[in-house]
Structure 1
């Protein structure tokens, strides 16, 4: 299956598109350090999307270091010197750049799965299961299913007990969501959704059984499968 990266741009899912729009306002100075973002309710209403979509967009901005969230207060634009990683979204529509980012995902997520199997707490497993339930429910046929897929991977990263895994995997996963959307657009939806769910279940069960070797192998199989579904050949040894 060959993927048209121009098609990915057209099919880019809502959270990434909203984050890119807000990110542009920040980078170009229309939103300044210390400014508070509008509330989730206001953004959802004004943009005509659900609040869960807005939350995903703000999570992406937080992963990029463009905003910080304060419990019960809201999201605020960070000072420029405190900002972390940022990748030009346009670069990811170049096949080589996109492949390189996916290649980076492999060692990070495989290691995260193994560490999660060793270190997870019950609350972590509950978050993994919650995301998996969303993936297997009625949302699986919609963009909400993509959001649930990303939440699954973030929950595993958080279960490592290492905040840096959550930071880097969260950042990469948001961009890899473009590949998920592209894969859904290019093949029989029922086929790809069911295969993806099956792979996630194997990962979840290996982590739940506290078997780091099986968890690493399951995550490796899932990521290579995901890459093949968007016609990417990765180097693995």
Structure 2
């Protein structure tokens, strides 16, 4: 693995280079599913880097679903499956990464809303309304509403009754949730932004309840368009403070900050 490590892009961070080398070994089957990874100390010696670098690299592998921790036993390789998407830091800064992910959401959420308007059942509407209420309650308690926002959109996806769309959203989950974390943090800084989001959610729900796929598509796509507009209007101080930190996992491949 050391030779492979030395051949990687010199400009990359050490932890990224180590993660890429280990990922290549896993995807090639040289580190088979179920195999225990060497200890941090052993990997640090093998790659001639610090244990902190190894810890960051393994954290990235864990966020990609390639390794799993077992309490008291260490880290074990998981089945590689499909390679999750990741942004290249050379091409996407934090702000542009968020905008690009919301653009992906726009295409998916618009189609999901159309199908939900066509296929929703009474029970689905109950779940969607419950999700809206939970989101409002979370915000009223001073929470960021990220989990509740994601649950609201998931309730709409469930009403669409298309398991392939649901699996696609789950596959993109790391990035969709990460982008939601950024957009909601920005929106929480302004009362008008927060009110707009609530109104847009209500518009989507009304269209789905009415069984109107045309309006559902427009409402869902418009919600994403407005999310992009709000990001572009964000105070520069937002990006210098929490925005940059919250968006870093989208471009750095690390787990979201807690």
Q: TM-score range by the shorter chain?
A: 0.5 to 0.7
Give the number of aligned pairs. 172
The answer on whether the counterparts of 1:140 and 1:193 sit within 8 Å (CA) in structure 2 is: no
1:194, distance to aligned residue in structure 2 (A): 2.0
1:88, distance to aligned residue in structure 2 (A): 5.4
1:178, distance to aligned residue in structure 2 (A): 3.1
Residues 130-169 of structure 1 mapped to structure 2, 5 A cutoff: 130-140=130-140, 142-169=142-169
Once residues 79 and 195 of structure 2 are traced to their aligned partners in structure 1, the CA distance between those partners, rounded to angstroms, is 43
| Partner deviation per Cα, 1:55-91 (whole Å, 9 max, x = no partner) | xxxxxx99x66699xxxxxxxx883332452425978
Residues 18-167 of structure 1 mapped to structure 2, 5 A cutoff: 79-87=78-86, 93-140=93-140, 142-167=142-167
The answer on whether the counterparts of 1:158 and 1:165 sit within 8 Å (CA) in structure 2 is: no
**1:65–1:208 CA distance, 2 compared to 1 (3 A):** farther
The answer on whether the counterparts of 1:153 and 1:173 sit within 8 Å (CA) in structure 2 is: no
Give yes or no for the alignment of 1:174 onto 2:186: no
Once residues 162 and 221 of structure 2 are traced to their aligned partners in structure 1, the CA distance between those partners, rounded to angstroms, is 20
| Partner deviation per Cα, 1:173-204 (whole Å, 9 max, x = no partner) | 2122133234135x32x332222111101101
| Partner deviation per Cα, 1:3-43 (whole Å, 9 max, x = no partner) | xxxxxxxxxxxxxxxxxxxxxxx97x9xx9569xxxxxxxx
Q: 1:132 aligns to what SS in structure 2? A: helix
The answer on whether the counterparts of 1:65 and 1:78 sit within 8 Å (CA) in structure 2 is: no
**1:184–1:155 CA distance, 2 compared to 1 (3 A):** same
Larger Cα-atom Rg: 2
Once residues 125 and 34 of structure 1 are traced to their aligned partners in structure 2, the CA distance between those partners, rounded to angstroms, is 42
1:217, distance to aligned residue in structure 2 (A): 1.1
Q: 2:146 aligns to what SS in structure 1? A: helix
Q: 1:199 aligns to what SS in structure 2? A: helix
1:134, distance to aligned residue in structure 2 (A): 1.1
The answer on whether the counterparts of 1:120 and 1:159 sit within 8 Å (CA) in structure 2 is: yes
**Where do 4+ consecutive residues of structure 1 move more than 4 Å?**
32-35, 64-68, 88-93
Q: 1:218 aligns to what SS in structure 2? A: helix
1:149, distance to aligned residue in structure 2 (A): 1.1
Name 1:201's counterpart in structure 2.
202
1:133, distance to aligned residue in structure 2 (A): 0.4
Once residues 185 and 223 of structure 2 are traced to their aligned partners in structure 1, the CA distance between those partners, rounded to angstroms, is 17
Name 1:230's counterpart in structure 2.
231
Provide the alpha-carbon RMSD of the alignment.
3.7
The answer on whether the counterparts of 1:140 and 1:146 sit within 8 Å (CA) in structure 2 is: no
Once residues 140 and 67 of structure 2 are traced to their aligned partners in structure 1, the CA distance between those partners, rounded to angstroms, is 29
